[in-house]
Amino acid sequence: MPGPFPGMDPYLERRDLWPDVHQSLITYSRDALQPQIRPRYHARIGERLYVIPPHRSIYPDVTVTQHLPVEAPGEGHTMAALTADAPVVIAVAPEEVREPFIEILDLARGGRVVTVIEVLSPANKTPGEGHEAYRRKQEETLASDTHLVEIDLLRQGIPTVAIPPHYLTPYQPWHSVICVSRAGRRERFEVYGRTIRQRLPRIAIPLHPPDPDAVLDLQAVLERCYEHGAYSDLIDYRRDPEVALPADDAAWVDDLLRQHGLRP
């Protein structure tokens, strides 16, 4: 079943749903690019690992609780015989986060990484280790001769793609931003902006010059994610999305969902 939105579905931003969407976007983007770039290039999925302290967790794990018996004072105690109430002990562990990304390797140059494609997560856009880890990788890529493609489909969080946010102000409101930074031309950014009312773009994915760009049809990738992930089984469109919309967009969403028979 196809999704009801012409572009990004704001209901996919739900915290418990996004990790699956994120993984699917990476996998199906790799699949879409592979036949275009072979045999000289090869797209593979890499992984970034970091640990988030419990108090900063974006996707908290189930806590383990235990009731501890409290021993009564033994004989010989001279202090007043007071017994503390039994507490509930909650074990809170740091959260290990693994974030996938795509690397395009140039097999003609010994498997050198020519392009990195990132799909941003809520942790990347929230102050803390996830944001800092992403920024470190971003700065490392921008300082190299590797192209960087950043796909941000999330309305929540702080601006994180490479282009400074004040350069995007004249073009707002955009709900999704895709930013392409080509090696050797860091002073220029190729930006694709969309609202939830618009189809997601076909993105030019740079390779090693003079080879022509590959093209990633982001809307087709998202539709494949939605269909294969069966997200319609998990979303209640009668409710408002987890990340609130401005009033005019909320009214547009309400009308759209009624047209699709997803709201009474």
Task: Report pLDDT digits (tens) over 89-102.
Answer: 888 877 788 899 99
- What's the mean per-residue pLDDT of the chain? 91
List pLDDT tens digits, range 208-224. 999 999 999 999 999 99
The residue with greater pLDDT, 137 or 1, is 137
Alpha-carbon Rg for the chain, nearest whole angstrom, is: 23
**Closest residue by Cα to residue 103 from 159, 26, 156:** 26
> So what's the pLDDT on residue 78?
55
- Residue 44 CA to residue 41 CA, distance in Å, equals 10
Question: Is residue 62's pLDDT more than 50?
Answer: no
Peptide bond just before 127 cis, omega within 30 deg = no
- Residue 122 CA to residue 47 CA, distance in Å, equals 16
In this prediction, residues 198-212 reach a mean pLDDT of 98
> So what's the pLDDT on residue 60?
46
> So what's the pLDDT on residue 96?
81
**Residues 206 and 147: beta-carbon distance below 8 Å:** yes
Which of 40-49, 95-104, 181-190, 194-203 bottoms out in mean pLDDT, i.e. has the lowest? 95-104
- Residue 51 CA to residue 129 CA, distance in Å, equals 7
**Residues 30 and 216: beta-carbon distance below 8 Å:** no
In this prediction, residues 14-23 reach a mean pLDDT of 96
Listed in sequence order, the residues at least 6 apart from 95 whose beta carbon sits closer than 8 Å to its beta carbon are 51, 52, 54, 57, 58, 59, 60, 61
Question: Is residue 80's pLDDT more than 80?
Answer: no
What share of the chain has pLDDT > 90, as a percent? 80
Amino acid at 1: M
Residue 89: beta bridge partners? 66
Question: Is residue 57's pLDDT more than 60?
Answer: no
List pLDDT tens digits, range 236-245. 999 999 999 9
Where residue 44 falls (left for φ over 0; alpha for ψ -120 to 50; beta otherwise) is beta
Cα end-to-end span (Å), the chain: 19
Question: Is residue 70's pLDDT more than 70?
Answer: no
Whether this model's pTM surpasses 0.75? yes
